[in-house]
A and B are shown apart, each in its own frame.
Chain A
């Protein structure tokens, strides 16, 4: 059984993105374990010269390293991902490279109609940066709009069409993880490129 990290893309106490990941955790419990990861305790990133990483960052990196893949659920703040998520990714690519070649599935929820579509598209570009270089599941999007009304009292998604879509995407993600595990030819080079990426020596 696959073990995934469900990265909550916000530091907000109330988040429908957290709810969405919790729903997936429960819904797919027979297919995979999804361990939720929070980012609100990450200090603000300021490129510390010492490159000494906070413990919370090291722990998160280790968990990501050991997982089979990561599901990131992102809200959208000002047409992009929240600063808190940018911050977490800044840390998780500063001298450490847990995301390199890691399969990632992107989901997102928003209060409005668009379901964080622009944030998701930024997130793809960000995860493609040399220090992150994740394997993002291509040509797939899960956009949960009007997320405040999307869940019932049991915190399950109301709309069965959406649930069906999510079921399909999650199945695809598991196939994608298998495929990704075969995409190993460039792994060493990718890893090296990430490690060679040094702010001070380029």
Chain B
């Protein structure tokens, strides 16, 4: 279960921050909490719309992607601090990421009140139509006299408090499950993905046929791209193009980049198609993503990209089992974002985890044992049938007559005569 914890204070030191850090650390086997700060969020002003600014977009994206939100609020003047109120106003102005989102409220204060009055106000604010969050009823967690509440390791001293906190979190986890059952499904934006890359972004190179075999040569000529020993300044370093190439080629995985316009622009070409987990050929670079996939897979490709673009997921991982039982090949589709948090495209990396797992086991002297209490999930269940045709973001554009081939943003075949086609993108979507 993925949660975000919002620190309701913009002060440099905050016991509410400490409380969230404690919850994150102490209950990490139970819930995965990312702590979000509100320091950089400007004061809300409806005459000066800053909804698109980086700190607000980041909060939006993280909240959207979370299963639930924990807000830790101090109390100033019998209500929540201006900084927190400001954040909620931004998140209810043009965007509504908290809409239908389960929220749990906690709070710490110097006095014995534990921010009780601020918490009541916060409940009312979160219920407002513009915010429209679903606040967990009951289970108020009020941490009073906070200065004496933590030991020098920043752990809560009182076991009763810890136990109650655990009860609250367990109830919140159940609350999230119940609420997700009654919530309307989120709007599916995947239909809007343009796999033909007909749009244009700042970095699109125009006037070169995207399908051309020598697109890279033509395009680099057109923009005078640096090559060879020319230097490229990076965010922390300078490399020559040759060094950069060697660096990317040395990555122990297959890397592929498609930009936010859904144009396939790069892969770290180190092997021929037949030697890759997901076969790609140099002539494909420059193609719109539609050219790299058979039409039957468009729906899944669009789904993955829209998850990343709209911040529902930072990464979509798909296990592709067709490489044999001695490998654990995972396609990871990682969203790339600029410093202002705008979607820049997808970085797909394909890696066989098995050598890493083996190395880890050898180093630590451990053995793998099946956990009987865990259900096999939808993604890994695909691995049970080795004869299945698996297709992640791809599939196939060329016919290959013998072996089953899995593939991602690339060529590779789709065999019409294979039995039941399992598509790992869609099985992953069942899971999520």
Contacts and interface: CB of A to CB of B under 8 A. Distances in A.
Interface of A: 11-14, 40, 43-47, 49, 77-84, 86-87, 89-90, 93, 118, 122, 125-126, 128-129, 131-132, 199, 202
A128 B111 contact: no
A78 B91 CA distance: 10
B282 interface: no
Interface residues of B, number: 34
Nearest to B111: A202
A199 B47 CA distance: 33
Given A78-B89, A79-B128, A199-B110, A86 B81 contact: yes
A78 B10 contact: no
The 3 A-B residue pairs whose C-beta atoms are closest, nearest first, are A87-B82, A83-B86, A13-B47
Contacts of A132: 77
Contacts of A90: 76-77, 81-82
A64 to B, nearest CB: 15
B85 interface: yes
Contacts of A131: 77
A77 B76 CA distance: 18
Contacts of B78: 125-126, 128-129
8 contacts: A12-B47, A45-B10, A83-B85, A84-B86, A86-B77, A86-B85, A93-B77, A202-B110
Nearest to B93: A77
Interface of B: 9-12, 39, 42-47, 76-83, 85-86, 88-89, 92, 110-111, 117, 121, 124-125, 127-128, 130-131
A199 B11 CA distance: 12
A129 B88 CA distance: 22
Contacts of A77: 44, 85, 89, 92, 130
B10 A126 contact: no
B43 A87 contact: yes
A78 B9 CA distance: 19
Main secondary structure of the interface of B (DSSP, over half): loop
A128 B121 CA distance: 14
Contacts of B131: 78
**Chain A interface helix/strand/loop/mixed:** loop
B42 A44 contact: yes
Contact of B88 (A11, A78, A84): A78
A82 B86 CA distance: 8
A112 to B, nearest CB: 10
Contact of A80 (B44, B45, B79): B79
B110 A79 contact: no
B77 A82 contact: no
A84 B42 CA distance: 11
Contacts of A79: 124-125, 127-128
B82 A44 contact: yes
Contact of B86 (A14, A44, A129): A44
A83 B89 CA distance: 8
A49 to B, nearest CB: 7
A44 B111 CA distance: 24
B43 A84 contact: yes
